[in-house]
A and B are shown apart, each in its own frame.
Chain A
């Protein structure tokens, strides 16, 4: 693509993170670490009911307790709460224990209301309603192309199944939270966020102050996965506490709160019927999906936001398709964007059906995909991945592996849009040759700070470590939130444009024809006493959208215990011009790890009787450990001619589908829901008495 240098010297070469040393030595300060003078702890009192009419919240006792500097309501004191964990009130105090004591001293009078926390219950006509005026089951969103029924009638193979995916919690290791200082109508907030400007605008609205009076800082943050946009209810509460107490307030959620009120990946119950002709061409897909965004609204937001619609039909060419999607309201915390919203459930179910059809038709699963995938790059990835993985040697008929411990293999694909835009930047070149690049993006943990340094270093012929990068601050030139896999494609062109302008200005002012590299310091010295600054912004032609990926998985399943051991995952991905192969590989590794959790371990468990969350900590909300990791081989397809595209979300999409197919290939029967636990494997094998479905 025009614009990017070819060949390059820094761009596209593996670079260690410029902030790596600060992170591993503890010098990097997170929202949790910031300690402005006089700061207080903040804490939230949450509803203990899944649904209740709150009639009174009495703060009197809490207000007079030792150390308590503020006690406020979070919303009115007379209202209906609709999920366990909904915010009711909050306190700020000098110590954490004082907060805990004060929270327990707040008296709430409430009348419990009927509730429903399970999708299957909520759909029933006599279920308690989450919202008084609307049924729990939304009207369907219907999309129809071609003639599904006629196509099904002509098919050589038809497969039908109900596949389910669970509600997954984000659980970033750094919980949600902020340290916020409100002084009059000026606000400073240190936020753990994916979007400093979204926090700024949210806080300004919450406090009724001008946006220009609010500064939001996020130097480092410990993961968000889509759930950390805007200040959140807890951010607004921290700001109100700070205002009431007249002191900065640090309000970070605990692990229990993290499971209740800050988002999740919606569930799906998918009733699917897929058909293909005898040559292995897909003919039709009939899709019905029921998913829950909790008390969240909107079923129409597959690909973003908090809706429960999934991206069906998925990636393959279905000449005829009918998709009916329903949202199911529950008395549980609302869904939010979660790494590739709507895609992992679609990939899991579609790829499961693809394997079923391939087996029925007697076609090799990879071959079957190559026949039906219209995306040329992904076809190349299936071929490349199959070669690296050794598919031809490893693939055997389902269930044909001998002995009680069976080996199986599977593959799956995914696709994502991405794309960039809306970013400005500023560069300052000092007479001593030092360079500062400023951009109001933030590093979600993906290595954005290093991306900025790489692009600037490429432009100036310097080393990334020579560039001082300032990001994560709303006082810097604006950039968007780090979501939708758009950050790298947004900031790289903006930084490049800015640096090109700065370089041109430097060369013009100093008369040095080429100020880059070895000439850099000499040219800068000629600036005299005033630094040079230049501004630029995202330009077309340096980035694009549309990234794909495929996974191949090999598993070992102990048919006597149901335990699934992952042996190998090959993850093949493209994301256009790869700015930093080291960080990109790391992103894919992270996506695979997260996908493994989704495939085998993670699931939010709500109790039907009490309406409360049961797996409140990491001993029962199970995330994978190092011991659960297979050998992960990341294969990156570098396509510099396409410009920069993101990788964050595509990396997670195909993992669960590939693992599910590998398990089915190993044991010869399919587990129809995620996560694929030993209990479900044993049930699928018919070893558990009295189990109807898994």
Chain B
């Protein structure tokens, strides 16, 4: 990797001023350091944000009151997976966190890092290929090895979002609080990724210098679930992932939200599917119809057509898990 400066920030203002023009914030570093070693990114300064105060903002999981859970940006994925409150009130989030990488990765990777991780498309990650996302002119996946590529995209890049947490947080209706040019901003999960939908070089919607502070998850949906299918049993990227959240009472589901990962540059959501399910019982028939709505308009390529039936299965299984 190229040489860089390493500094530690203790306050928000200090972090912003240390960052400079070509700096990056460093928390877990799982994705960032890998990209630096492969010369995919070459920041000149890394600002350590693990020592920021107040620690309660960045490194804690807390139920703010009865209606929201706030998780700091530096909280590790392992902490989310193991947290008693999360397991109790947001079971789908604990499941999704538990499926991230390996124990070693989960122990280091942060919430914000998982959400903001860059594309895993193997053309993007190949050090000797300048693909469209890396500033080249061609998305090689379109005509090439596209087994892991997206079924939906708003631009010529078809690398999908692979963050497990993005999918469940989208289903839970979470918001992301961040600091941008000294001000507090809030983005919904769809907003956090929408830039990647339309801009081939984007992985998310953040601008240079933006610093994620925490994620706020409303607790108004008491049921949530996450399912993914990988080629291997553990420690493998999802071919497709699916999360759902909602309330189930008297055999009927309300306020349900479903999101799919690894099939679009954004967590894939279809409002029509939510409207369709509102007030209905969750069973094979309704879940299957919702899956049809979610997958309508999918554009499979030569090698990723299997994601359509796979996603269909995962949608059904995830939705039915809300009944439990």
Q: Which of A's residues lie within 8 Å of B, judged by CB?
A: 48, 84, 97, 100, 256, 560-563, 565, 600-601, 605, 607-610, 612-617, 619-620, 622, 624-625, 627-628, 677-679, 682-683, 687-691
Contacts and interface: CB of A to CB of B under 8 A. Distances in A.
Given A614-B122, A678-B306, A607 B233 contact: no
24 contacts: A97-B3, A100-B1, A563-B229, A600-B231, A605-B122, A605-B145, A607-B123, A608-B144, A609-B140, A612-B126, A614-B122, A615-B122, A616-B127, A619-B120, A620-B125, A622-B232, A625-B234, A627-B235, A628-B233, A678-B310, A679-B147, A682-B306, A688-B309, A690-B300
B232 A625 contact: yes
Contact of B236 (A100, A617, A622): A622
A85 B7 CA distance: 37
B53 to A, nearest CB: 33
A536 B227 CA distance: 63
Given A563-B229, A615-B122, A625-B232, A688 B145 contact: no
Contacts of A608: 144-145
Interface string B228-270: 0101111111010000000000000000000000000000000
A661 B236 CA distance: 25
B167 interface: no
A682 B122 contact: no
Nearest to A683: B306
Contact of B232 (A97, A613, A617, A628): A628
B283 interface: no
Nearest to A687: B309
Contacts of B17: none
Contacts of A610: 128-129, 140
B34 to A, nearest CB: 9
A688 B306 contact: yes
B126 A614 contact: yes
Residue of A561, A563, A689 contacting most chain B CB atoms (<10 Å):
A561
Contacts of A565: 233
B144 A689 contact: no
Contacts of B305: 683, 688-691
A560 B242 CA distance: 15
B233 A560 contact: no
A38 B220 CA distance: 65
Given A610-B140, A614-B145, A688-B305, A561 B237 contact: no
Interface in B122-136: 122-123, 125-129
Nearest to A626: B234
B237 A619 contact: yes
Nearest to B312: A560
B214 to A, nearest CB: 28
Pick the 4 closest A-B CB pairs, nearest first.
Answer: A627-B234, A679-B306, A627-B233, A560-B313
Contacts of A677: 231
A561 B123 contact: no
A100 to B, nearest CB: 8
B64 interface: no
B140 A616 contact: no
Interface string B181-209: 00000000000000000000000000000
Contacts of B310: 561-562, 678, 682
Given A601-B232, A624-B232, A689-B305, A607 B147 contact: no
A560 B309 contact: yes
A291 B173 CA distance: 52
Nearest to A628: B233
B73 interface: no
Contacts of A48: 128
B271 to A, nearest CB: 25
A143 B199 CA distance: 58
B314 interface: yes
B308 interface: yes
A84 B127 CA distance: 12
A84 B234 CA distance: 31
Contacts of B308: 688-689
B272 interface: no
A563 B230 CA distance: 8
Size class of the B contact interface (CB-based, 8 Å): 35 or more
Interface string B74-101: 0000000000000000000000000000
B22 interface: no
Residue of B3, B125, B140, B232 contacting most chain A CB atoms (<10 Å):
B232
A543 B120 CA distance: 51
Contacts of B140: 607, 609-610
Nearest to B142: A609
Interface string B296-324: 00001001111011100110000000000
A36 B3 CA distance: 28
Contacts of B127: 256, 616
B232 A627 contact: yes
A600 B235 CA distance: 15
A84 B313 CA distance: 40
B67 interface: no
Contacts of B234: 625, 627-628
Given A688-B305, A691-B305, A561 B229 contact: yes
Interface in B141-186: 143-145, 147
Nearest to B131: A610
Nearest to B235: A625
Contacts of B303: 679
A554 B300 CA distance: 33
Nearest to B39: A104
Contacts of A609: 138, 140, 143-144
Nearest to A623: B232
Given A612-B129, A616-B125, A691-B305, 5 more contacts: A608-B145, A612-B126, A627-B234, A682-B309, A688-B309
B143 to A, nearest CB: 7
Given A561-B229, A607-B140, A689-B305, A678 B126 contact: no
Nearest to B317: A560
A683 B120 CA distance: 24
A279 to B, nearest CB: 41
Contacts of A613: 126
A181 B229 CA distance: 50
Contacts of A678: 229, 231, 239, 306, 310
Contacts of B123: 607, 614
A607 B138 CA distance: 13
Contacts of A612: 126, 128-129
Contacts of A689: 300, 305, 308
B172 to A, nearest CB: 24
A244 B239 CA distance: 49
Contacts of B145: 605, 607-608, 614
Residue of B143, B300, B309 contacting most chain A CB atoms (<10 Å):
B309
B106 to A, nearest CB: 14
A616 B305 CA distance: 24
Contacts of B120: 619
B233 A625 contact: yes
A607 B239 CA distance: 20
A108 to B, nearest CB: 12
A601 B231 contact: yes
A130 B201 CA distance: 35
Nearest to A85: B128
B314 A561 contact: yes
Contacts of A617: 125
A631 B232 CA distance: 16
A689 B313 CA distance: 15
Contacts of B147: 679
Nearest to A404: B313
B177 to A, nearest CB: 31
Contacts of B304: 679
Interface string B271-302: 00000000000000000000000000000100
Nearest to A621: B122
B78 to A, nearest CB: 17
Contacts of A562: 306, 310
A683 B302 CA distance: 12
